[in-house]
Amino acid sequence: MQKIESDQFHKQAEAAQELLDSDVQLSEEKAAELAIQVQRSETLRFVEFAFNTKYGAANDVGDASTAAFIEKSSKKKYFTLQTLDEEKSKIRKIGKHEYNHSKHLEAGVKDVNLKEILSPEQLGALAGALNIKKKPEDIDWIEGFTELRTIREEGRNEDCAYLFEEVPAAINIEKLAADNGIESILAAFFTSNELLRERLRALCDKLMEEEIRARLAA
């Protein structure tokens, strides 16, 4: 993988623009290549200005479906070069998704392992109430919560792969929490590990109580 940090990426684009503006004779292919470089830099600046944060660019990431990513250790955010050719409105949403990743990482939430957080009984109660195809422990809650917040802030990215399983799961668990008098799980995800665990356990305890009442009433 080749990564270019924001400052270097913009400097290279400035050099490309200077070359385009000069008297140097360029082939059509070279001129087009330089113009794309300038355009990508302008797009990157657009997103950086929108969220007051820097993004790098990456090439040869190994997965053609990857639009952007964040390094957990450094919290540095990167777009793939090809993503910077998309419409700005779409790139803004992708950029906000990675920005939101940085926020839960800053809060210390790096993983959501329900098998570790919940007891088997709590996990069973959640599975029975969540109304999704997958088991709760098999959902990528990191992506679900991150994209749900992004949708609420920027609107839906219809090409986002997380719309099919992860986001519906995040929506459903938020509704379950609200219906049972538990404060937002999503907000806890962006606050701290401790608060996230506390609210998840409180929700599942409520669901277990409902199960017991339902059995007694049967």
| Domain coordinates in residue numbering, the chain | 2-86, 114-217
What is the average pLDDT across 85-98? 96
Q: For residues 211 and 171, what is the distance between their CA atoms, to the nearest angstrom? A: 21
Q: For residues 50 and 67, what is the distance between their CA atoms, to the nearest angstrom? A: 18
Q: What is the mean pLDDT of the chain?
A: 94
Provide the 10 A C-beta neighbour count for residue 48. Answer: 16
What is the average pLDDT across 163-191? 97
Check residue 61 and report its DSSP letter: -
Tell me if 148 sits within 8 A of 170, measured CB to CB: yes
Is residue 123 predicted with pLDDT exceeding 80?
yes
Encode 64-96: b = buried (16+ Cβ within 10 Å), e = exposed. Answer: eeebbbbeeeeebbbbbbebbebeeebbbbbbb
Percent of the chain residues past pLDDT 90, beyond the cut: 88
What is the average pLDDT across 189-205? 97
What is the average pLDDT across 26-55? 96
Is residue 157 predicted with pLDDT exceeding 70?
yes
Is residue 118 predicted with pLDDT exceeding 90?
yes
Give per-residue pLDDT as tens, 60-91: 777 778 899 999 889 999 999 999 999 999 99
What is the average pLDDT across 192-196? 97
Residue type, 163: L
Cβ-proximal residues to 192 (8 Å cutoff; 6+ apart), any chain: 107, 108, 109
pLDDT value, residue 218 = 67
